[in-house]
Structure 1
Amino acid sequence: MIGPKKVTREEKMEIAYSIANQVLERYGSQVQAIGIYGSLARKSDGLFSDIEIKCILNSLDESFNYEWTAGDWKAEVNFESAEDIMEEAITVEEDWPLTHGQFFDILPVYDPEDFFHELKTKANSVARSIFKEAICRTLIEEMYEYIGKLRNIEMNGPHTFLPILAMEIATAGAMILGLHNKQVFTTSAQVLPEALSLTDKPEGFEVLCELVMSGNLSNPQHIIAICENYWDSLLKWSSQHGYQIECSTVIPL
């Protein structure tokens, strides 16, 4: 039967090194570095975790990747050029706290020129102003839109989307806190617990997260009240930290 099945860390590491050797045999001198990322690199993998590998090639017109299963386990191998991954490392989008942990915890398998250390240094060099811009975008592009949906549902229904919306609002709030603290999250499954461990949170965020994590999402008015309270607190918190929602009646060209 097809898995996933229990595969120990030691077995996954053997598979990862086998994959790396195959890449070196196939691409030879084109390979600049190979590293494991994700839970396997952080030594937090479970028995059913994937194997995730980055392969950096010296000359590559376009990034590509392979995802496959051998039956018991699944692997993902990403091929990127050094130039592209360096650019990716310093790019800060709204989901930076979830996407960029890979740049800080890569476990080198083949790295003769210490490329992954340079990559981590590059990712650490991003200016605070870039994170501020990302937070302001999240407030408008994500949070403002979510609250509009929340109020439409309160007036017109249906209430069936409210549980999902509460989860999206909580997750976006966690991303804002990650950006504010320049803190990455280890995995999507830990976004809310790890965000709650951060200091300097808007009032109402903890209550919202507890609501979502408990799964107690059957009372529409309760969900709406908690989300509205969080939105009010988030606006105050954002203003205190200089994260402004710019208002304009014209296109901000």
Structure 2
Amino acid sequence: MNMNGPVKISRSERLQTCQEIAARLHEVYGEKILAIGVYGSVSRGTDGPFSDIEMFCVLGGESSEPVEFSHEWSAGPWKAEVNVCSADVLLKTASTVEGKWPLTHGPFFSQLSLYDPKGFFSTLKKAAESPTKEDFRHAINEVLVGEMYEFIGKLRNVNLNGPHTYLPYLAMQFAEYGAMLIGLHNQKLFSTGSMVLPESLELPNRPVGFDNVVKLVMSGDLVEPSKIVSACEDFWNGLVDWAAKHDYVMNSKRIPF
């Protein structure tokens, strides 16, 4: 049977493709290239038969405009993405903490280097290690207000007025961003998107009610509206207590500016 989309490819074949992409990058960008590396599951050695390829192409030298774009394509049996960035752009991104830091910043800590004559990836790791506790606190405050407060408002609206078909999605959002908060609080990275929820359950200092929402989502038990609403409300109450305990800010002046 012919299979559309990704097909089974061995790790050795995938690594060979990475080398071919790197060779093409050298042809296109020449002496501007500071470093080339692979990140994601391929760099960790956890890639599966259908995994895609993710790479950095770091450009150095003097440039009047910062460079930041991606080549992303499917070759039929496999898919690849190459992030082409100026060194200063990548270093700034690595040193910034935002709401999904526990999921997005793993690539800055570990790459499979294909070309790095000046040791750029070591510098990148140091940049990723540079954020302060206050940087993490600020990111947590933003998630609490920007996501979690918004989700509980939506949940209460839907519970009153419908449509209840939106509740499973909201439960997943509560679980995902709750996991991000716990990762940020512990300054821990998740290994991959598929492991965010189970790995979050292994971290300490989880708000009361979080585990129940996550277990509902992981089990797929998202049919009964009242059960979803009750679980998310319990988690919200636990989150309010958790924020107060750790001095995170959820409320401000009526108009703070």
CA deviations over 1:189-208 (Å, ceiling 9, x no partner) = 11111111111111111111
Alignment of 1:52 with 2:54, yes or no, is yes
Deviations 1:216-239 (A, max 9, x none): 101100100010001111111111
Of the candidates 176, 179, 192, which is equivalent to residue 184 of structure 2?
Answer: 179
Residue-by-residue CA offset, 1:157-215 (whole Å, 9 max, x unaligned): 11010000000011110000111111111222111111111111111111110001100
Residue 80 (structure 1) aligned to one of 56, 60, 85: 85
TM-score normalised by the chain length of structure 2: 0.95
Letter in 2 for 1:41: S
- 1:213 maps to 218
Task: Kindly state the Cα deviation for residue 242 of structure 1 after the two structures are TM-superposed.
Answer: 1.1
Is residue 2:224 matched to residue 1:222?
A: no
CA deviation after TM superposition for structure 1 residue 154, in Å: 1.4
Q: Report which stretch shifted further, 30-39 or 189-198.
A: 189-198
2:161 matched residue in structure 1? 156
- 1:72-151 map, 5 Å: 72-151=77-156
- Among candidates 41, 44, 50, match of residue 43 of structure 2: 41
The amino acid that maps onto 1:84 is V
- Mapped to 2, the partners of 1:155 and 1:65 lie a distance apart of 43
SS in 1 for 2:213: helix
Give percent identity, aligned residues only.
Answer: 48
1:68 aligned partner:
73
User: What is the CA distance between 1:25 and its match in structure 2?
Assistant: 2.2
Distance 2:236 2:198 in 1: 20
Partner of 2:199: 194
Residue identity opposite 1:139 in structure 2: L
1:7 has 2:27 as partner: no
Secondary structure of the residue aligned to 1:140 is helix
Q: CA deviation at 1:131?
A: 0.4
Higher alpha-carbon deviation: 120-129 or 24-33: 24-33
In structure 1, what residue type is equivalent to 2:30? G
Q: CA RMSD in A?
A: 1.1
User: Which one-letter code corresponds to 1:57 in the other structure?
Assistant: L
Hey, what's the Cα distance between the residues in 1 that align with 2:197 and 2:73?
29
Q: 1:221 aligns to what SS in structure 2? A: helix
Local SS of the residue matching 2:105: helix
The residue type paired with residue 15 of structure 1 is: T
Scaled by the length of structure 1, what TM-score is found?
A: 0.97
Tell me which of 228, 231, 243 is aligned to 2:248. Answer: 243
Aligned length: 252
Q: Per-residue CA shift, 1:49-73, capped at 9, x if unaligned?
A: 0011100011453312111122111
Letter in 1 for 2:32: Q
Residue type of the partner of 1:26?
V
Whole-angstrom CA distance in 1 between matches of 2:6 and 2:56: 22
AA aligned opposite 1:176: L
Q: Distance in 1 between matches of 2:171 and 2:56?
A: 34
User: 1 CA distance for matches of 2:136 and 2:105?
Assistant: 13
Long gaps (5+) in structure 2? none
Q: Distance in 2 between matches of 1:194 and 1:232?
A: 22
Structure 1: gaps spanning 5 or more residues: none
Range that drifts further, 60-69 or 210-219: 60-69
Partners of 2:168 and 2:112 in 1: CA distance: 38
